Amino acid sequence: MAAAEAAAVVLSCLKPDPAPVPESAGTAAATAATSSAMAAAAAVAAAARTGSEARVSKPALATKLLSLSGVFAVHKPKGPTSAELLNRLKEKLLAEAGMPSPEWTKRKKQTLKIGHGGTLDSAARGVLVVGIGRGTKMLTSMLSGSKRYIAIGELGKATDTLDSTGKVTEEKPYDKITQEDIESILQKFTGNIMQVPPLIILSRFLNLSLFLLPSSLSVSLLYFASYSALKKDGQRLSALMKRGEEVEAKPARPVTVYSLSLQKFQPPFFTLDVECGGGFYIRSLVSDIGKELSSCANVLELTRTKQGPFTLEEHALPEDKWTIDDIAQSLERCSSLFPAELALKKSKPEESNEQVLSCEYITLNETKGEDDVIKTL
């Protein structure tokens, strides 16, 4: 029923009796009845308008979502992996846009691309750069830019993953280490240096004798697997190891540390402020510092405070801001952070009535290191 018709019905039902009534009571009663009727009619009309707006808003939001294009940043908390966080972001956007909805399933499909550049471990938090639409093509430039971290290291314990999530493999005394000792060696890890990526020996099996096992069950010697994002032929080393394939340890490679300072020392914990280039491993740095101090160390906490032009305080959207409107505003603000050659050209307006959202799952191979992975959904 239309809003006007509903209002008319309500008015007719609540219209006061035309019979004369005493002035003192009748006037007040009539006024009250009329006011009630008008309020009810207004409520019905508002409800009708709200229902109509709701039917229009979802397609409009879907159209706006599909038109988003650029690069922005989100705040990744500890716990989820970068890929899991990207899926969470995607799901929130799809839900807000009401996609996919049955009424759109027969219409033209439009692919939404969304990806992240620069993986953070599940135990780490901080800036995670996200590309949406054609902005996914800009993510590669994020890998070559500088990154900044606040890392809390723990002296006296080494783990198989070089951070607090791993199994303790070694313990050494640290009680004689001073703040001056740490500060004096930081220069060795600043500038253009060589660094060995963090690797872990998962298992070592010698070939078993045919006298013990059938040849079909003989086991080859397995060497090293990585807990990092390092890849071989586009596949993670850890995944190769799980399939029983042989993986060789990676050699030291050149990396760049732009600045490195000790922020706090409260044994056994020390806090570092590190600005580095792509392909650098904070876990390896902390472990190497422990060794240089004739002890050992692992990463207890890790926060990325900057990636490229994006900072945690100024640009990273918390989860309560993962909305289509907030991301659109962030894309607009962040567009000025990039040089002109990286700026996205304006695209043609999308056909608002001919779009259905589908998701494209692509993994790009521009992988440089632990924090240098692009994943596009």
Contacts of the segment 202-210: beta carbons below 8 A, 24+ positions apart: 202/241
Q: How far is CA 249 from CA 173, 223, 243, in A?
A: 29, 8, 17
Identify the residue with better confidence: 108 or 148: 148
C-alpha to C-alpha distance for 58 and 99, rounded to whole angstroms: 8
pLDDT of residue 281: 94
What are the angstrom distances between the C-alpha of 368 and each of 27, 191, 227, 241? 83, 19, 15, 20
- pLDDT tens figures, 79-97: 999 999 999 999 999 999 9
User: Residue 144 — very low, low, confident or very high, per pLDDT cuts 50/70/90?
Assistant: confident
Torsion of Cα atoms, 168 then 174 then 180 then 183, to 10°: -10
How do residues 332-364 score in pLDDT, each as one tens digit? 999 888 776 555 544 333 333 323 333 333 333
Q: Which of 1-5, 108-112, 134-138 has the lowest mean pLDDT?
A: 1-5
Q: How many CB atoms lie within 10 A of CB 272?
A: 23
Tell me the pLDDT of the chain averaged across its residues.
73
Q: What is the pLDDT of residue 212?
A: 36
| Choice between 212 and 54, residue whose per-residue pLDDT is larger | 54
CB of 71 within 8 A of CB of 135?
A: yes
Point out which residues pair with 171 in neighbouring strands.
157
Mapping DSSP to helix (H, G, I), strand (E, B) and coil, where does residue 230 land?
Answer: coil
Closest residue by Cα to residue 353 from 54, 53, 56: 56
CB count, 10 Å around CB of 99? Answer: 22
The per-residue DSSP string of 78-111 comes to SSS-HHHHHHHHHHHHHHHHT-S-GGGTTS-EEE
- Res 2: pLDDT: 45
Task: State the pLDDT at residue 224.
Answer: 32
157-200 pLDDT per residue, tens = 999 999 999 999 999 999 999 999 999 999 999 999 999 988 64
* pLDDT for the residue numbered 35: 52
pLDDT at 59: 84
Residue 342 is predicted with a pLDDT of: 59
Please give the positions annotated as active site. 121
